[in-house]
Amino acid sequence: MKKPHNKAVILSLFVFALCAAAAGPLYARATEEYPIVKLRSLDKITARTQVFEANVGRTIKFGSIYIKVQACRKAPEFEQPESAAFLQVWEIPPVKSEEEEKAEWIFSGWMFASSPGLSAMDHPIYDVWVLDCLQSEEQIKAQESEAAAKEEVREGEGVLDAEEAPVEPAIEQ
C-alpha cells in the first residue's frame, strides 16, 4: 500500500518555519521606570481637555472619575520611542437615590503613548490617554550635572581613591 504525502502540508510547514526564522527572536523591550506620567483627559460633553502630570502611586480626580497611576515606563533614548503607563480608572456615579456611593471600574491596564487606541478606556463621557513618562526635577538636575562632569573630564582624569594616587613628592626646603 502506498503512503500518501501531502506536499501542501510539507510546503506550509516549510514556509512557516522560514517566516519564523526571518522574524527573529521575540523579546520584551528594555524599559526604564519613571516617577511621573503626563496624561491628557477629555470631557466629551463639555469638550474640556486637561493635561496634567501625576506621580506614580497617586490618585487623580477628573470629573467623576479617579485615575491611579501604578507604573510608568519608557524605552531608553537609543530605542524606538515608547511610553507606557499602567492605570487604574474607576468612577463614582452621582447618587440618584438614598443608596450608598458605589464605585465602578472603568479601566485597568497598560496605555501606550504611541498607540492610544491599542488599549483605550471605554467611557461615554471621559477619555484619558498617556502622553509621556517624565523624570523628577532632581533626576533631571543629577543627569545634567553628570553630563557636565563627563564633558569636562578627560580620559584618565577625575577623582582618584587614595590607593590609586601616586606618592607625593617630597617638599624641598
* Residues 63-103: tens digit of each pLDDT: 888 989 999 999 887 778 889 999 999 988 777 665 666 88
Give pLDDT tens digits for 130-159: 999 998 767 666 666 666 655 555 555 555
Given a cut of 60, whether residue 57 has pLDDT beyond it is yes
Instruction: Please tell me the distance from the alpha carbon of residue 120 to that of residue 9, in angstroms, as a whole number.
Output: 40
What pLDDT does 100 receive?
Answer: 64
Question: Is residue 46 one of the residues assigned to a domain?
Answer: yes
- Using pLDDT thresholds of 50, 70 and 90, give the confidence band for residue 23: very low
- Using pLDDT thresholds of 50, 70 and 90, give the confidence band for residue 15: low
Question: Is residue 156 one of the residues assigned to a domain?
Answer: no
What pLDDT does 11 receive?
Answer: 55
Instruction: Please tell me the distance from the alpha carbon of residue 58 to that of residue 69, in angstroms, as a whole number.
Output: 6
Given a cut of 90, whether residue 39 has pLDDT beyond it is yes
DSSP secondary structure letter of residue 120: -
pTM over 0.85: no
C-alpha cell read off for 158: 577625575
What pLDDT does 136 receive?
Answer: 72
Question: Is residue 8 one of the residues assigned to a domain?
Answer: no
Given a cut of 70, whether residue 105 has pLDDT beyond it is yes
Question: Is residue 149 one of the residues assigned to a domain?
Answer: no
Question: Is residue 95 one of the residues assigned to a domain?
Answer: yes
Question: Is residue 162 one of the residues assigned to a domain?
Answer: no
One-letter-per-residue 3-state SS of 24-83: CCCCCCCCEECCEEEEEEEECCCCEEEEEEEECCCEEEECCEEEEEEEEEECCCCCCCCE
The DSSP element (H or E) to which 154 belongs, if any, is: none
Instruction: Please tell me the distance from the alpha carbon of residue 63 to that of residue 41, in angstroms, as a whole number.
Output: 10
Total domain count, the chain: 1
Domain ranges, residue 51: 32-142
What pLDDT does 9 receive?
Answer: 56
